[in-house]
Amino acid sequence: MTLNLEVKSNLAKLLATENITIQHNKVKTASFDVKNRVLTLPLFKQKSGDVYDMLIAHECAHALWTPHEQWQGIDNAELRSYVNVLEDCRIDLLIQAKYPGVVYNYKNGFDILEKQNFFGISGRDINKEFMIIDKNNLRSKSLQRLTFDFSRQDNYWLDKVDALVTFDDVLALANEMLEWQKEQVEQMKKLPDFDNHILAKSYGLDEDEDDFDDEDGDGNGSGSDAEQNDDADDEKNDFNNFGDQKADDEKDSNKSGDGSSSDSDKKEETKDKEKANVYSKGRGGDGFNDKPLRSITDDAYTQKQEELQDDKAKGFRYGKFPTPNLDDLSCLTSWKTFLKDMEAYKTKSLRDYGTTKNYLVWLEKEYKSFIKENKKTVMYLVKEFEMKKAATAYKRASTDKTGIIDPLKLPSYQYNEDIFKKLTIIPDGKNHGMIMLLDWSGSMSDVIMNTVKQLINLVEFCRKVNIPFEVYFFTSERGYTEVERKGWSTNAGEYIMDNFNLVNCISHRMNKKTI
C-alpha cells in the first residue's frame, strides 16, 4: 500500500496536541526529540498503516509524557535499557487510554512485527528463556495476548509496572528491578550447572570467568611458564568472547634463570590487564566478566527495525525558514526605491540599446488600451462591492428614540403613542484593505502576463472604491550580494534565502501621476 506521509504528519500533530515537526527520513528507528519537538519516522520497505500508526502513537506518547532532561541524564547502559522498557510500558498505557482508537493499531502492528520475529522470540520458550524485564516488554507490546505462566514473584513486578504513574516512578522501579535481577544472577552463578542454565545461555552469561591476578597474588607476574601461558591464553579468549579486542600474536617468552618473566613480558601483561579493566567498566559492570543486563527483546526490536529501512528511498531534506530581521529591512524594497531603480534602468536602456525607446512607447500604448477595455469590468466590480457594502451597513444599522417630540406626529397622539423623533445610526463600513503578493519567479514566465492583467484590474478596483492596498512581488533577480543576506537569520538548520527580495511595487500611497 502507499502511505500518505502528509496525512500521517497531521495525525501525529493531532495525537501530540501540538504543532510538532514531523520528518520522514532514512533513519534506523522512529524517535522523538523531546527538546526540539521533532518526531522522526523511518521509511519502510513494507508500508503498513497499522505499524506506522503504532509508531506515531508511541512516539507522540514520548512527546507528551517523557521528560527530556531526566531521560538524557541516564548514563548507565543497564539502567537505561530497563528504564526504556518500563517507560514504554507506562506511556503506551497512557496513549491507549487517551486515544482508544490506537489500540487496534497496536494489536495489528504487534502481530505484523511478531510474524517477522522483530522481538527475537521465534522458537524460544518465553516462560523460561526471558528475565522479568523482557516478560514485561512482551506483555506490554502484545497487549497481554501472549501466553505467559507468571510466578508469584513475576506478578509482584507486574503489579508494580501497572502502578507506574510518573517518570520518577519508572526510575525508581528500574533501579529496584535491576538490583533484584543482579542478585538473582549472582545466586545462579553459585549453581554447579550455571553454564548450562537456560537464562545464562539466553543472556550470554555463561562465558568463562577469568582472574587476571597472578597465582600468588603478589602482582609481580612470577610463576611457572605453564601458568603464565595459560593466563595469556585465557586473556586472549576473554577478548575474543566480547569481540571488541584482537589477540596479539603469540610470542615466545624469554625467561631468566630464576624462572621469572622478563621486563618486556611484565609490561605486556600489565598493559593487557589495564585494557581489560577499562573495557569492563565501559560495559557498565564492575569487572571484566560482568555482562551488562539488558532487555534482549528491546535490543532485537531495535536491530530488526534497521532491516526494514528502505535503502532505495532518497529521503528528504528538512530545514526551517529563516526569521526576517525587522531591524534591518535589507530584504524589503519600498515603492519609492523601486520606482527610482526603474527610472535608472530605463535611462540606461535608452542609452545602451536603440530599440528600447520604441518598446517603451509600445508598452505605454498597450497599458492605456488595456485600462480602457477593462473599464466596464472594473466599474461592475465597484457596483457589486458598493451594493454589498450598503446591504451590510443597513443590516448593522440601529434605530433609537431621541426623546424629542416630533410635531408632525402630534395629530395622531390619541391613537398612536409613538410621537418621538427617531435616530438611525449606520456604522462606518470603511474597514477594508487588500495586500496582493505576486510570484515573480522564473516558473511564472508562461502565465505572468495574464497574472499581471488580473493584478491591474484589482488595483484599479481598489483605487475606484478608495480601499487601501499594497502590492508586493518577490524575486531573487535584483543583483544583491551576500551582504544583503543579513536581513535574515542564519541559524543552523535554516534555509538560506539566496538574494531574496520583497518589492513593494504599487501602493495606495502613490499619487495618481506616479501610479
Per-residue cell: 124: 524460544
Cβ within 8 Å of residue 131, ≥6 positions away: 181, 199, 203, 293
Q: Which of 123-132, 467-476, 479-488 is the least confident region?
A: 479-488
Residue 479 falls in which region: left (phi positive, over 0), alpha (psi -120 to 50) or beta = left
Per-residue cell: 363: 508598452
pLDDT digit string (tens) for 475-512? Answer: 877 755 444 555 677 777 788 776 777 889 999 988 87
What backbone torsions phi and psi does residue 502 show, to the nearest 5 degrees?
-105, 115
Tell me the angle at which helices 375-395 and 356-373 cross, rounded to the nearest 10 degrees.
Answer: 50
pLDDT digit string (tens) for 69-80? Answer: 888 889 899 999
Please state the rounded mean pLDDT for residues 149-173. Answer: 94
SS3 309: strand
Per-range mean pLDDT, top range of 167-176, 206-215, 477-486: 167-176
- Produce one character per residue of 222-251: b if its CB has 16 or more CB atoms within 10 Å, e if not: bbeeeebeebbeebbebbebeeebeeeeee
Query: What confidence tier does 405 reach under pLDDT thresholds 50, 70, 90?
Result: low
Count of C-beta atoms within a 10 Å radius of residue 495: 13
Does residue 283 contact residue 292 with C-beta atoms inside 8 Å? yes
pLDDT of residue 85: 95
Rounded to 10 degrees, what is the CA torsion of 243, 282, 62, 168?
140
SS3 157: helix
Sequential DSSP letters for 454-513: HHHHHHHHHHHTT--EEEEEEES-S---GGGGGGB---TTBPP-TT-EEEEEEETTS-TT
Cα(338)–Cα(342) distance, integer angstroms: 6
Which residue would you say has higher pLDDT here, 290 or 280? 290
Cα separations (Å) of 396 from 233, 393, 407? 98, 5, 29
pLDDT digit string (tens) for 362-394? Answer: 888 998 999 999 999 999 999 988 888 777 766
Count of C-beta atoms within a 10 Å radius of residue 166: 11
Does residue 284 contact residue 76 with C-beta atoms inside 8 Å? yes
Q: What angle do CA 7, 11, 13 make, to 5 degrees?
A: 120
Task: Give the length of the chain.
Answer: 515
pLDDT digit string (tens) for 295-349? Answer: 999 999 888 877 767 777 777 778 888 887 766 666 788 888 888 888 888 888 7
Cα(173)–Cα(19) distance, integer angstroms: 33
pLDDT digit string (tens) for 34-70? Answer: 777 888 877 776 667 888 888 888 888 888 888 888 8
| Burial classification of residue 509, based on how many CB atoms lie within 10 Å of its CB (0-12 exposed, 13-18 middle, 19 or more buried) | middle
Cα(77)–Cα(80) distance, integer angstroms: 5
Does residue 338 contact residue 505 with C-beta atoms inside 8 Å? yes
Per-residue cell: 61: 506518547
pLDDT of residue 164: 95
- DSSP conformational letter for 247: P
What backbone torsions phi and psi does residue 413 show, to the nearest 5 degrees?
-60, -40
Cα(263)–Cα(270) distance, integer angstroms: 11
What backbone torsions phi and psi does residue 286 show, to the nearest 5 degrees?
-90, -15
Count of C-beta atoms within a 10 Å radius of residue 55: 23
Which residue would you say has higher pLDDT here, 448 or 360? 448
Does residue 190 contact residue 184 with C-beta atoms inside 8 Å? no
Cα(14)–Cα(8) distance, integer angstroms: 10
Cα(159)–Cα(425) distance, integer angstroms: 72
pLDDT of residue 284: 39
Cα(5)–Cα(40) distance, integer angstroms: 12
Share of the chain above pLDDT 70, in %: 70
Cβ within 8 Å of residue 265, ≥6 positions away: 221, 228, 253, 254
Cα(103)–Cα(78) distance, integer angstroms: 30
Does residue 1 contact residue 29 with C-beta atoms inside 8 Å? no
